Structure 1
Amino acid sequence: MRKVLAFCRPPASRQQEGVFRDHRILREGHIRHSIYYSVIREEWPQVRDQLEAEQSTYASAHTA
């Protein structure tokens, strides 16, 4: 859920397209949903930069 919440933050250029519900059953028996997003070519540089910044922040916070 943390990944979903992180990805749902601005910029608003990340357009949620839909949810694929109950499409995967994991080994532990949990059922997984997936959220699909779209990013158009013009939005990609801004989205990429923010994702890289979020990844860097996450990695820094979780490095021992």
Structure 2
Amino acid sequence: MAQINGRPVELSDTLTVNQLKEKLGITATRLAVEVDGTLLYPENFEEARITNDSVVEVITLVGGG
């Protein structure tokens, strides 16, 4: 099982970060995503692969004063 933000998630298939965002219902465009200890640039969200062995942290960035 993959670990997404510390919670176990069973994935039926290998996913890209964008597919994972869709699966989790994340609509935010300003994100920090780490997969297996590597921080990803948004341009790599379609290339990075997430499997049931992956550890993923997704952090939504919020601006304000």
- TM-score by length of structure 1 reads 0.27
Higher helix share: 1
Higher-Rg member (1/2)? 1
- TM-score by length of structure 2 reads 0.27
